[in-house]
Amino acid sequence: MENINWYPGHMKKTRELIKENLKMVDAVIEVIDARIPVSSRNPIIDELVSSKPRVVVLNKSDLADGEASKVWKKELEAQGNKVMIMNCMSGSGVKELFRLLESMEKEKNQDKVRMKPYRLMIVGVPNVGKSSLINRMTGKKSAQTGDRPGVTKGKQWLKLKNNMQLLDTPGILWPKFEDPKAGLNLAFCGSIKDEILDVPTLGMELIGVLAQKYPQLLMERYKLDELQETPLDNMEAMAMKRGCILPGKRIDYERIGKLVLDEFRSSKIGRITLELPGEK
């Protein structure tokens, strides 16, 4: 697939909004997708928030390979971040996150007579689970959630259950995907709207990646005795097994492409991490 260039005006505004409001916060919570910890980390966010304490949340840990998430936690901590492995949809890890933030607040207010509320900013690319985390931290439905990117609109200050204050921002992507793999990985995980992509080709690309990284899971899920030479051959074999056939015994590439994307995103194929530290 060609490089994806997608930089709507609201994302430019979000970049300016983050820069403008950063001076008002004490720390930044960066939410990333545990399945794609490189592709779902925005270089613009690195550039903008480098001077602030940062907590990196490896979200959707229930969908990711558990051992890979532990490896990523060590890697990100070695880079100077505080790291939490979480499932924001279920609330797993939220209590531990509060404990960490409260210790950071205590450290900041040490030896101060007047205690100011600890202020946080939450950032991340679309569809990594920011809104689910916000709702868990506020104890109510403060932010809209959805399994499609681009739900959060504008900025809002929210009060957390422990009286800290949180600035929410819309999801932000970078102007250009310099590495085509990053664009593909975000598309696989649903961070780019399927409407702007070719679903059969995207499904075939995903099959190719899974055949390389998780061949056993792919064969078990689609009842394949062996993998074929090419992603297209595997896609056609999977379509035959699942009955994705059009009149005249033609392969329904649209249907099998959508099916494999849906089953990957819902973890029906298995718990999968597409990136590991040091991979190129």
| Whether residue 39 is found in the same domain as residue 93 | yes
Q: Which amino acid is at 45?
A: I
**Residue 151: is its pLDDT beyond 50?**
no
Tokens describing residue 140: 């109510």
Q: Is residue 99 part of a domain?
A: yes
**Residue 162: is its pLDDT beyond 90?**
no
Cβ-contact 55, 67 below 8 angstroms: no
Query: Which residues neighbour 229 within 8 Å (Cβ) at sequence distance 6 or greater?
Result: none
**Angle of CA points 100, 24, 165, to nearest 5°:** 45
Predicted TM-score (pTM) of this structure: 0.86
Local structure of 212: helix, strand or coil: helix
Q: Is residue 46 part of a domain?
A: yes
| Whether residue 157 is found in the same domain as residue 204 | no
Longest dimension (CA), the chain: 79
**Residue 11: is its pLDDT beyond 70?**
no
Local structure of 231: helix, strand or coil: helix
Q: What is the CATH number of the domain that holds 85?
A: 3.40.50.300
Domain end call among 127, 148, 168: 168
Q: How far apart are CA 174 and CA 6, in angstroms?
A: 8
| Whether residue 158 is found in the same domain as residue 115 | yes
Q: Is residue 253 part of a domain?
A: yes
**In this prediction, what percent of the chain has a pLDDT beyond 70?**
86
Domain end call among 125, 147, 168: 168
- pLDDT at position 63: 97
Q: What is the DSSP letter of 195?
A: G
Q: Is residue 217 part of a domain?
A: yes
Q: What is the CATH number of the domain that holds 256?
A: 1.10.1580.10
- pLDDT at position 67: 96
Q: Which of 132, 136, 131, 104 is nearest to 120 (CA)?
A: 104
Minimum mean pLDDT among 18-32, 126-140, 173-187: which range? Answer: 173-187
183-231 pLDDT, tens per residue? 899 899 988 777 777 999 999 999 999 999 999 999 999 999 999 999 9
Domain end call among 168, 189, 224: 168
Q: How confident is the model at residue 150 (pLDDT cuts 50, 70, 90)?
A: very low
Tell me how far apart the terminal alpha carbons of the chain are, to the nearest angstrom: 18
**Residue 43: is its pLDDT beyond 60?**
yes
| Whether residue 133 is found in the same domain as residue 217 | no
Count structural domains, the chain: 2
Q: Is residue 87 part of a domain?
A: yes
| Whether residue 123 is found in the same domain as residue 222 | no
Q: Which amino acid is at 34?
A: A
| Whether residue 154 is found in the same domain as residue 31 | yes
Query: Which residues neighbour 93 within 8 Å (Cβ) at sequence distance 6 or greater?
Result: 57, 61, 84, 85, 86, 87
Backbone angles phi, psi at 216, to 5 degrees: -65, -45
**Residue 178: is its pLDDT beyond 60?**
yes
Q: Is residue 174 part of a domain?
A: no
| Whether residue 164 is found in the same domain as residue 202 | no
- pLDDT at position 231: 98
56-113 pLDDT, tens per residue? 999 999 999 999 999 999 999 999 899 999 999 999 999 999 999 999 999 888 877 7
Q: Is residue 252 part of a domain?
A: yes
Q: Is residue 277 part of a domain?
A: no
Tokens describing residue 38: 């490189």
| Whether residue 161 is found in the same domain as residue 225 | no
Minimum mean pLDDT among 43-47, 138-142, 143-147, 238-242: which range? Answer: 143-147
| Whether residue 45 is found in the same domain as residue 85 | yes
Q: How far apart are CA 36 and CA 257, in angstroms?
A: 20
Highest mean pLDDT among 137-141, 170-174, 179-183, 270-274: 270-274
**Residue 269: is its pLDDT beyond 80?**
yes
- pLDDT at position 23: 85
| Whether residue 33 is found in the same domain as residue 129 | yes
**Residue 128: is its pLDDT beyond 60?**
yes
Q: Which of 125, 124, 105 is nearest to 115 (CA)?
A: 105
Helix (H) or strand (E) holding 253: helix 253-265
Residue span of the structural domain in which 259 resides: 198-265
- pLDDT at position 170: 64
- pLDDT at position 185: 92
Local structure of 202: helix, strand or coil: helix
| Whether residue 159 is found in the same domain as residue 207 | no
Q: Which amino acid is at 108?
A: K
